[in-house]
């Protein structure tokens, strides 16, 4: 099954194509630029380079959060549009799960990290068992201190992975202490080819019309609206 994967959940723009046998191609950039004008040209470039077209695709996979609100909306909207236009199934994969997948050869727990500001994180806890990525703690929005204290209770080495780890490395190392391990920078970037492979194995297709990002917390506009509603 030829699968097209799109990841715009962070500063990393990733587009990948894979089938049941191999990763056919990937496009990755890791720069802070607006994804909205770059995703479709990236898809076009990658498919042409792989001597393929959108008509060869059989499934669309999108990294659907958490992450940048704007980035997630861009990726989900483009994925839904392509799925609707081409009459293809679409599935969403946790952006944190995708990040954790890069820790395949680590013998311990894996904590993908996204900065959520004000000393908070988007994170979850994963580990590999028999070459399968298993979720140990569900993805969540949590303070750095609370998270590090929680994973210390497992008394196992934990691989912190993701571009945003550098923002919190000192605090993580101080609190998690001897359990904290840090991924090399080449492993911190999520692979769109991996996203395509993960998504290709998912059988629960999303409803195109109701498919939406998983923000893991209210957007600023929603939070203000609720605050105003509560006061009234």
Contact 191, 26 (CB under 8 A): yes
Give the pLDDT confidence of 150-179 residue by residue, as tens digits: 999 999 999 999 999 999 999 999 999 999
Domain ranges of the chain: 3-94+190-227, 103-187
What does the alpha-carbon distance between residue 54 and residue 60 come to, in Å, rounded to a whole number?
Answer: 10
pLDDT score of 23 more than 60 = yes
Higher pLDDT, 196 or 226: 196
- Topology of domain 103-187, per CATH? Nucleotidyltransferase; domain 5 (3.30.420)
Name the residue among 6, 232, 190 with its Cα closest to residue 101: 190
pLDDT score of 35 more than 50 = yes
Higher pLDDT, 34 or 225: 34
Domains 3-94+190-227 and 103-187 share a fold: yes
pLDDT of residue 230: 45
Q: Model confidence at 217, in pLDDT bands (50, 70, 90)?
A: confident
pLDDT score of 194 more than 50 = yes
Average confidence (pLDDT) over 5-10: 98
Average confidence (pLDDT) over 30-41: 94
Name the residue among 213, 205, 197, 196 with its Cα closest to residue 4: 196
What does the alpha-carbon distance between residue 60 and residue 58 come to, in Å, rounded to a whole number?
Answer: 7
Percent of the chain with pLDDT over 70: 94
pLDDT score of 220 more than 90 = no
Asked if the bond preceding 56 is cis, omega within 30° of 0, the reply is no
DSSP calls for 20-68: SS-EEEEEEEES-S-STTTHHHHHHHHHHHTT--GGG--EEEEE--SS-
Average confidence (pLDDT) over 88-102: 98
- Topology of domain 3-94+190-227, per CATH? Nucleotidyltransferase; domain 5 (3.30.420)
pLDDT of residue 67: 96
**Residue 113 carries which DSSP code?**
E
What does the alpha-carbon distance between residue 15 and residue 40 come to, in Å, rounded to a whole number?
Answer: 10
Q: What is the pTM of this model?
A: 0.92
Contact 8, 94 (CB under 8 A): no
Q: What is the mean pLDDT of the chain?
A: 93
Q: What's the alpha-carbon Rg for the chain, to the nearest Å?
A: 18
What does the alpha-carbon distance between residue 71 and residue 11 come to, in Å, rounded to a whole number?
Answer: 8
Name the residue among 29, 19, 42, 8 with its Cα closest to residue 193: 19
pLDDT of residue 10: 96
Residue 197 sits at the vertex; the CA angle it makes with 151 and 91, to the nearest 5 degrees, is: 85
Give the pLDDT confidence of 49-69 residue by residue, as tens digits: 999 999 999 999 999 999 999
């Amino acid at each position: 099954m030829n699968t097209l994967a799109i990841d715009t959940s962070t500063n990393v723009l990733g587009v990948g194509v894979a089938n049941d046998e191999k990763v056919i191609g990937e496009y990755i950039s890791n720069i802070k630029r607006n994804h909205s004008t770059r995703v479709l040209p990236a898809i076009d470039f990658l498919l042409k380079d792989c001597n393929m077209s959108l008509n060869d695709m059989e499934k669309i996979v999108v990294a659907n959060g958490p992450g940048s609100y704007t980035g997630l909306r861009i990726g989900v909207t483009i994925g839904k549009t392509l799925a609707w236009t081409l009459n293809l199934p679409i599935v969403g994969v946790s952006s944190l799960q995708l990040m954790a997948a890069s820790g395949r050869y680590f013998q311990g727990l894996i904590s993908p990290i996204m900065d959520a500001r004000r000393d908070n994180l988007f994170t979850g806890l994963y580990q590999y068992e028999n070459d399968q990525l298993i979720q140990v703690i569900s993805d969540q929005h949590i303070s750095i201190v609370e998270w590090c204290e929680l994973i210390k209770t497992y008394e196992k080495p934990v691989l912190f992975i993701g571009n945003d780890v550098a923002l919190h490395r000192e605090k993580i190392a101080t609190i998690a202490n001897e359990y904290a391990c840090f991924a090399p920078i080449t492993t911190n970037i999520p692979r769109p080819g991996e996203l395509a492979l993960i998504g290709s194995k998912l059988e629960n297709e999303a409803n195109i019309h109701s498919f939406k990002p998983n923000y893991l917390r209210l957007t600023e506009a929603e939070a203000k609206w609720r605050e105003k509603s509560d006061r009234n």
